[in-house]
Amino acid sequence: MTLAEQWVAFYTIVRKEIRRFLRIWMQTLLPPAITMSLYFVIFGALIGSRIGQMGGFTYMEFVVPGLIMMSVITNAYSNVVSSFFGAKFQRFVEEILVSPMSNNTVLWGFVIGGVARGLLVGLIVTLLSLFFTSLHIQHIGVTIAIVLMTSIMFSLAGFINAVFANNFDDVSIVPVFVLTPLTYLGGVFYSIDLLPDFWAGVSRLNPMLYIVNAFRYGVLGVSDVNVTTAFLMVGGFTIAAYAYCMYLLSSGTRLRQ
């Protein structure tokens, strides 16, 4: 296929993916909006007002970046894993497998679909947060770069999950039992400076800590970790996940008999 034809194929997947999550907005866009609004009300407005300052900011200001990033991560991941596994489950992934599209086109089509949902939900949550606090983004480049890289990384991770998933339980295991706990323990609700040294050290093994803090640095200008380290880590994981996805597609693992 020529480059122009690959572009058409890529656009077709992206368009289909975006239309899919917009069509089922009650399942894809509404729940994170409601959940995050509740977080803002309970942790920010009600409990947060009694907690006082954290890292030099009101508690509401402190938690907002983490909650936005949590939404981006969960939704980018969920979009790809549910969409690609659905295609496998109903066998219409074969429409793609019999076509002459390159593996890169297939992969980036699904990844950009995941990124689009992650960013859209992130935007919705950001707009909702403005009802509770004001946001003055300190480093716009860092903010955009980390949110883009993170959504790409988790879209790729969702793709890997979808390839190996055998049933719908396998699709929800990682978001429920891995992503959510790691995000909660990744400094969304607290600064690791509050933790004893041992637990602060343990927290530094959690990749979510770096992602959340890099985003918080972009928005608030403060971070518990080195932002360069965060970018290197996200970049490294993204490259590794991309290479593995390409291997899965080219070898046909779990896709071709």
Partner 1 sequence: MAIALQIKGLRKVYDNGFEALKGIDLEVKEGDFFALLGPNGAGKSTTIGIVSSLVKKTAGDVHVFGHSIQTDLAAAKREIGVVPQEFNFSNFETVWDIVVNQAGYYGLSRAVAGERAEKYLKKLGLWDKRKVASRMLSGGMKRRLMIARALIHEPRLLILDEPTAGVDIELRRSMWEFLTEINKSGTTIILTTHYLEEAESLCRHIAIIDGGNIVENTSMKALLRQLQKEVFILDTPEAISPDLVVEGFDTRYIDEHMFELVLNKGSSLNEVFAALNKQGLVISSMRNKANRLEELFVGLLNAK
* Interface positions with partner 1 (CB under 8 A): 1-2, 4-6, 8-9, 11-13, 16, 23, 86-87, 90-92, 94-102, 252, 256-257
C-alpha span between 9 and 18 (Å, rounded): 14
Smaller CB separation from partner 1, 5 or 193: 5
Smaller CB separation from partner 1, 6 or 229: 6
The beta strand positions in 79-143, using DSSP E, are: none
Q: How far is the CB of 252 from partner 1 (least distance, A)?
A: 6
Q: What does the buried/exposed string (b/e) look like for 51-81 if buried means 16 or more CB atoms within 10 Å of the residue's CB?
A: beebbebbbbbbbbbbbbbbbbbbbbbbbbb
Q: How far is the CB of 96 from partner 1 (least distance, A)?
A: 6
Smaller CB separation from partner 1, 53 or 253: 253
Q: How far is the CB of 248 from partner 1 (least distance, A)?
A: 13
C-alpha span between 71 and 67 (Å, rounded): 6
Smaller CB separation from partner 1, 11 or 177: 11
Q: How far is the CB of 122 from partner 1 (least distance, A)?
A: 26
Q: Where are the alpha helices (DSSP H) in 165-226?
A: 168-174, 180-183, 197-203, 207-220
57 φ, ψ (degrees, to nearest 5): -130, 160
